Amino acid sequence: MAERATGTAEAAASETAAQAPPEDPTSTTTANAGTGPVEPAAGAADADADGQARAGEARPRRRRVAVLVGVVGELLITAGLVLALFVAYSLWWTNVVANQEASRDSDAVRDQWAAAEDESGGDDDQPPVFDPEDGIGFLHVPAMTDDVILVKEGIGLDVLNGGVAGYYDTPVESAMPWDEEGNFSLAAHRDGHGAKFHGIDQIEEGDPIVFESSDTWYIYRAFAILPETSRYNTAVLNAIPEESGATEAGRYITLTTCTPVYTSRYRYVVWGELERTERVDADRTPPEELRAAD
């Protein structure tokens, strides 16, 4: 009996084991979850290491990019400030300096005229007294500017940068207002260094252009305007400026300057023709054309 019972028990145990579900391979992990960390698989550890390495490399790279962007930004700001200072210097400060220089030179010319008049005793037969390098007279163009513009010999920057107009001595030699015929041709800056011809585009046909010498007012009338031409077009300075429509010798005046504004690519030209002259009186009373413009 005992042997039969034992056999029956063993058979029952075997049957129970056969009917039991297969063991879950994760049960060990679950069972051990509360006992401490579980060592990760080898592949996961390698992936984490690679990610950390890439992150470590990316941080210095981002720092380098940030530094580069900062340096470029500072350079752009510096360049902008330098450009702004250059513009202020070119369009404002050079005007201040040039106008001061022109004012001193103008006073010197008028003082020279007064001294020469005292020496001559007011003799009207005396020829004009002037030194071309100091100045030969003054240009008045009410439609263009309220300034009285000193006129000197030459059109080089050493002359024009002084806030004056210059008469051409090259490539075409200008006539003088007191010559019997010819073209009194002038140039001046349009922007910076006094910008004496800045408003040249305000001149219209019929407007007076007056030149004041030591003893005579020369009153011209604008009769032709060329808004744009090549800076190499010297024909506009000819004794008979045919591009103005003139066909015969006369006593002309030509004003030239750069165009468009703030560039020197082309030239703007205004022509005038002498209408009359008037002797300068003791008070240097301006002719009626200038008085009417005041």
Catalytic residues: 258
Residues in the chain: 294
The amino acid occupying position 277 is: T
What region does 22 belong to: left with phi over 0, alpha with psi -120 to 50, or beta? beta
First to last CA, the chain: 149
Coil/strand/helix, residue 150: strand
* Three-state secondary structure call for residue 142: coil
In this structure, are strands 208-212 and 182-187 parallel, antiparallel, or unpaired? unpaired
> Where does residue 28 rank: exposed (0-12), middle (13-18), buried (19+ CB within 10 A)?
exposed
